[in-house]
Structure 1
């Protein structure tokens, strides 16, 4: 009997704590994506000015965030104020692969910028932007 009470209390705590956790993770991922958007603007400005040395550290920031993206979408975090479509969780391997594509593109952008070739850096930036679009088209409500 005691174990049933403990189990029921634990389940209730997990359910109420789960809702709070979902809202916390939504806020964390929103902040991360806002920084991501800001980083894209920083890179665009740097490439436009020919300041390729400024691109690498910002590309590293995007790379680090992209690595965390799958962990910011745990089950249950599709409720509340979020633009995440439910299809994310139904196609999580594809969603994870898209985050990996962004990481790879950020790494390629860093290499291009380090080469000093503005045209190659611009092309790599465009490729990275394409990874954003690919994910948004399928997994984000606009």
Structure 2
């Protein structure tokens, strides 16, 4: 029984490791962490902008561009858990990150994974050249951004 419980504890640690945050050890580290998070989110924004323009008909449909932006968003989404891992709440720094991120890290990481999955789907739609589905695929990526902002971004 002890061996079974030990094995379960080890496996739980392995599979929840990315859901645990670490506290910033200095104000400098907290500030740097926040700056990196903001830079990552700006990159997401810069790739969502053209997609939003396509979805609204302001930019012509371009499957190659959709694939490129989708791949970038997928990669950036995979970085989210790493860049939000450092809990900066202990220090007074400029950030729009809500405290709930570090209180609900597993949910935050799941939302980042939702963005990754939606970005992969967008790439599939673009690769198939399916113009009838591209707006919905872009909308799915955008809705993952909104879901995270609604819960984890302060105003």
When normalised by structure 2's length, the TM-score is: 0.76
Task: Say which of 99, 103, 108 aligns to 1:90.
Answer: 103
Change (3 A) 1:125 1:25: same
Check conservation: 2:66, 2:123, Cα contact below 8 A.
Answer: yes
Aligned to 2:140: 127
CA contact (8 A) 1:46 1:54 kept: no
1:80-105 Cα offsets, whole Å, 9 max, x none, are 11101101111110000000000000
Aligned twin of 1:21:
29
Q: Matched residues in 1 for 2:40 and 2:86: separation?
A: 18
Across the aligned residues of Structure 1 and Structure 2, the Cα RMSD in angstroms comes to 1.8
Describe the shift of the 1:29–1:50 C-alpha distance in structure 2 as closer, same or farther (beyond 3 A). Answer: same
Q: CA deviation at 1:16?
A: 9.1
- For structure 1, the 5+ residue unaligned runs are 1-14
Structure 2 unmatched runs, 5+? 1-22
The one of 55, 68, 83 aligned to 2:66: 55
> Displacement, 1:52?
1.3
User: Which residue of the partner structure matches residue 45 of structure 1?
Assistant: 53
2:82 pairs, out of 59, 71, 80, with 71
Q: Relative contact order, CA 8 A, sep 6+: which one is greater?
A: 2
Deviation at 1:139, TM superposition (A): 0.5
- Structure with bigger gyration radius: 1
Aligned equivalent of 1:7: none
Secondary structure in 2 matching 1:119: coil
- The Cα of 1:23 is off from its aligned counterpart by 0.9
Aligned residues: 128
1:136 match: 149
